[in-house]
């Protein structure tokens, strides 16, 4: 009886033919192991096919996405070039500023030196003697001087024209002579 149960597991009846499902020479534990290996191999081949499919997958970019990407790259390149130009201009202006500052210092030093030489060359005593002796200058009396308090401010406002000090320049005199004959 045990033999018939054992034989039932080994054969399958399909219509009038009886197929041998497992060879009898293999014990049951080996047959189970073989089935499991086949199932694993089938799963492994599926996983291998998936991995190959993923490796061979090439994403497709449509024209619109490609255009947006090209515009973004162009804008980035343009912005980078503009930034580099601006940075170069700033550096060159900085160098020019330093050069101008150095030149300004040199000119101030030269100007101060020239001003000192001019001050040293002026003989105030000779100017006073020529003005008094030759030109007839006299010192003013107390009632001829008007004093005012000087407040140091940035500028002086003039609300009207000054009268009494008008002098005609040479061009005005020549024009009057030519047109007023």
Cβ pair 54, 47 in contact under 8 A: no
pLDDT band at 98, cuts 50/70/90? very high
Helix (H, G, I), strand (E, B) or coil at 14: strand
pLDDT by residue (tens digit) across 7-54? 445 555 555 665 555 555 556 677 677 777 777 777 677 777 777 777
Q: Which tokens is 94 given?
A: 């900085």
How many angstroms separate the most distant Cα atoms in the chain?
166
Cβ pair 24, 10 in contact under 8 A: yes
Residue written as tokens 């009268």?
A: 163
- How high is the pLDDT of residue 178? 75
| Domain boundaries along the sequence of the chain | 2-56
* pLDDT (average), residues 163-171: 66
Q: Which tokens is 164 given?
A: 């009494």
Residue 123 vs residue 173, higher pLDDT:
123
The pTM assigned to this predicted structure is 0.36
Q: How far is CA 29 from CA 34, 36, 43, in A?
A: 9, 11, 21
Element (H, E) at 100: helix 63-121
pLDDT by residue (tens digit) across 52-84? 777 777 777 889 999 999 999 999 999 999 999
Residue written as tokens 């033999």?
A: 3
């Amino acid at each position: 009886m045990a033999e018939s149960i054992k034989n039932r597991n080994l054969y399958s009846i399909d219509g009038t033919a009886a197929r041998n499902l497992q060879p009898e020479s293999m014990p049951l534990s080996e047959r189970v192991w073989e089935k499991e290996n086949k199932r694993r191999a089938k799963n492994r081949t599926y996983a291998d096919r998936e991995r190959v499919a993923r490796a061979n997958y090439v994403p497709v970019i449509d024209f619109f996405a490609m255009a947006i990407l090209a515009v973004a790259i162009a804008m980035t390149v343009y912005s980078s070039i503009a930034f580099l130009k601006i940075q170069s201009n700033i550096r060159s202006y900085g160098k020019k500023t330093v050069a101008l500052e150095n030149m300004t210092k040199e000119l101030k030093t030269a100007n101060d030196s020239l001003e000192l030489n001019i001050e040293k060359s002026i003989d105030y005593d000779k100017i006073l003697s020529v003005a008094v002796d030759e030109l007839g200058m006299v010192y003013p009396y107390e009632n001829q001087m008007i004093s005012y308090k000087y407040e140091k401010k940035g500028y002086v406002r003039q609300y009207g024209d000054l009268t009494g000090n008008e002098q005609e320049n040479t061009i005005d005199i020549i024009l009057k002579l030519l047109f007023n004959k």
